Structure 1
């Protein structure tokens, strides 16, 4: 894949990301919502008070890679965790934990006069906010799980520096959902967010410094969500390309955690969106391992978890990933070398949707409303290696 990208293509990609980005207001609204829920669950009158509930956000909102829904009829999905810090898996069943959270979720729902009903998901409770808010919150109950995680790693002769924040989450389709048993699904959203942030820390800090200078503020006063790094921007573009490619068959599309993990591994500290996007597309498949004939994308914070575990029982999803990646390489390699904005738009339309393509053209032609902090300072064939490829290490990566 060509390494060069025209100024016009770079401006177009920047405008595309600007249009895909949700507003600071949306971030702040989501933040207020999960903090308000945390306050409610932790109030002295709460049935969960003695267990020290802690609510925090996970997923794309935490990583800064959330994108606007394709239409105003669709909601943002805010993924939150409710960790009961005083409980452990040995004390109750997954079902009991989920029911305990349900009591307070429904109480909160009534206190806020929310009209849309509470829904149960496989691993969570879903709060649907008013239409004007345009988001729903998935609240996953969990308990601390650091000790079990360390034991599992030791038994497998593996190590991780991220076990302290490991949690065990509920899953109503798991065989032992109704009984007291230590074998729960594992998760560690805090650790993953830390790892992801480390992969882009130099670019993040540089852009926060730029924004601080523009706003005449201190760097530490600039929240991360005010900044979009090239890594985050590239992931946002890839997510939209994926969504368009798999419209009508979402069950086959590569899940976001796979895109984010492979992109973060492949990111080499590039300073522009175009350079980051091309570099990521060129090498991201090299971080899919073939271990004894099984495709593995290890969780970088939990070597026992394989993000591609569903590919074994659904091999067509691995094939779908290969075909999507090949198409994305072709689409963006072609866009990268174009200098005519209308040609870029026409080329981008099938890949990202005509409406977004036209809006990006309008923004790039007019200068748009580009965020100051997102501005950068002045295909090979697909194969899955049998051994781990060590990620390139941007300056400051820990």
Structure 2
């Protein structure tokens, strides 16, 4: 699409929506969004986003585009393809830097390591959904959280360490000057302010600041609970991420320990009381639970 052919990009969205509503297959699935036409299916939705190539400055700027924006009634800069490439790069590059700093770089990184940032982003968004359940219009949008997380991830191998670093980093980025907000630019198209909606909704920005600081404090408290018992940790996790997800995770955690325990693979480390593999020196094996008083 050539933007010069559609000086009013909303006309282009109107044409796409009209064509879809004329279809017997899609007419009941169509919803107009600010920048796209969304088709709802049983288990997923599909966004149709018309875009015009418009290379820009920034990483992967060759993929930059302009897209329709109903609120602005104009074309707005964006770069969805470049952003996806940037996020993957940030996740992998941070891990490589971390590994080089602690030990020789292995020949190949595992999939689990490469997913740490993505898992951290999922937890960040899950807590956001819980906290803003009753005021969803004030919730920070996912692209802002994803960008901030990627910018503050430094290759930590565990999700726990990664989230701690991300939250500390985001809090440190918040300006301490009155009437100034955190500006989150699209790193692949510096002309796009991903956080621009905070200009018209300062109360939403204040809610974001309050939430991210509270989440940071809660995460620190959660880390301090290590070793105090799964029931106490579960109570905190339920408040942070919801009862259903917490229950599923705790049950999976218990199964992960129960299997090696029954096979004699777990022990208690002397002096620390930590549960460790039975092969660790100076540890006492944990007996298999037979439920009838004998081994």
If the TM-score is normalised by the length of the shorter chain, which range does it land in? 0.7 to 0.9
Report the TM-score, using the length of structure 2 for normalisation.
Answer: 0.73
Structure 1 residue 361: Cα displacement? 0.8
CA contact (8 A) 1:288 1:297 kept: no
CA distance in 2, matches of 1:88, 1:250: 35
Structure 1 residue 268: Cα displacement? 0.6
CA contact (8 A) 1:88 1:145 kept: no
Q: Tell me the number of residue pairs that the alignment of Structure 1 and Structure 2 aligns.
A: 244
CA distance in 2, matches of 1:227, 1:276: 11
Q: Deviations over 1:331-381 (max 9, x none)?
A: 22122122211111011111111121111111111129xxxxxxxxxxxxx
Q: Deviations over 1:3-41 (max 9, x none)?
A: xxxxxxxxxxxxxxxxxxxxxxxxxxxxxxxxxxxxxxx
CA contact (8 A) 2:113 2:157 kept: no
What SS class does the counterpart of residue 205 from structure 2 fall into? Answer: helix
CA contact (8 A) 2:17 2:30 kept: no
Point out where structure 2 has 5 or more consecutive residues left out of the alignment. 97-104, 258-295
Tell me if 1:169 matches 2:58: no
Runs of 4+ displaced beyond 6 Å: 204-208
CA distance in 2, matches of 1:210, 1:365: 24
Comparing 97-106 with 134-143, greater Cα deviation is found at 97-106
Point out where structure 1 has 5 or more consecutive residues left out of the alignment. 1-86, 150-158, 177-183, 212-225, 369-398
Structure 1 residue 328: Cα displacement? 0.8
CA contact (8 A) 2:35 2:70 kept: yes
CA contact (8 A) 2:127 2:240 kept: yes
Match of 1:313 in 2: 200
| 1:367-378 correspondence runs (5 A) | 367=256
Structure 1 residue 209: Cα displacement? 4.9
CA contact (8 A) 1:342 1:361 kept: no
Provide closer, same or farther for how the CA distance between residues 207 and 105 of structure 1 changes in structure 2, counting only shifts above 3 A. Answer: farther
CA contact (8 A) 1:162 1:191 kept: yes
1:97 alignment partner, one of 12, 34, 42: 12
Report the TM-score, using the length of structure 1 for normalisation.
Answer: 0.55
Structure 1 residue 105: Cα displacement? 3.7
1:195 alignment partner, one of 77, 86, 90: 86
CA contact (8 A) 1:165 1:188 kept: yes
Tell me if 1:326 matches 2:241: no
Structure 1 residue 323: Cα displacement? 1.2
What SS class does the counterpart of residue 367 from structure 1 fall into? Answer: helix
Structure 1 residue 114: Cα displacement? 5.3
Tell me if 1:88 matches 2:16: no
Match of 2:234 in 1: 345
| 1:116-155 correspondence runs (5 A) | 116-129=28-41, 131=42, 134-146=43-55, 149=56
Comparing 345-354 with 297-306, greater Cα deviation is found at 297-306
RMSD: 2.9
Q: Which has the higher contact order (CA 8 A, sep 6+)?
A: 1
CA contact (8 A) 2:50 2:67 kept: yes
CA distance in 2, matches of 1:342, 1:243: 23
Q: Deviations over 1:38-81 (max 9, x none)?
A: xxxxxxxxxxxxxxxxxxxxxxxxxxxxxxxxxxxxxxxxxxxx
Match of 1:35 in 2: none
CA distance in 2, matches of 1:207, 1:101: 48
Provide closer, same or farther for how the CA distance between residues 298 and 172 of structure 1 changes in structure 2, counting only shifts above 3 A. Answer: closer
CA distance in 2, matches of 1:172, 1:254: 20
What SS class does the counterpart of residue 294 from structure 1 fall into? Answer: coil
Larger radius of gyration: 2
Provide closer, same or farther for how the CA distance between residues 277 and 168 of structure 1 changes in structure 2, counting only shifts above 3 A. Answer: same
Provide closer, same or farther for how the CA distance between residues 306 and 207 of structure 1 changes in structure 2, counting only shifts above 3 A. Answer: farther
Structure 1 residue 291: Cα displacement? 8.8
Match of 2:286 in 1: none
Match of 1:257 in 2: 143
CA contact (8 A) 1:207 1:227 kept: no
| 1:290-309 correspondence runs (5 A) | 293-295=179-181, 296-309=183-196
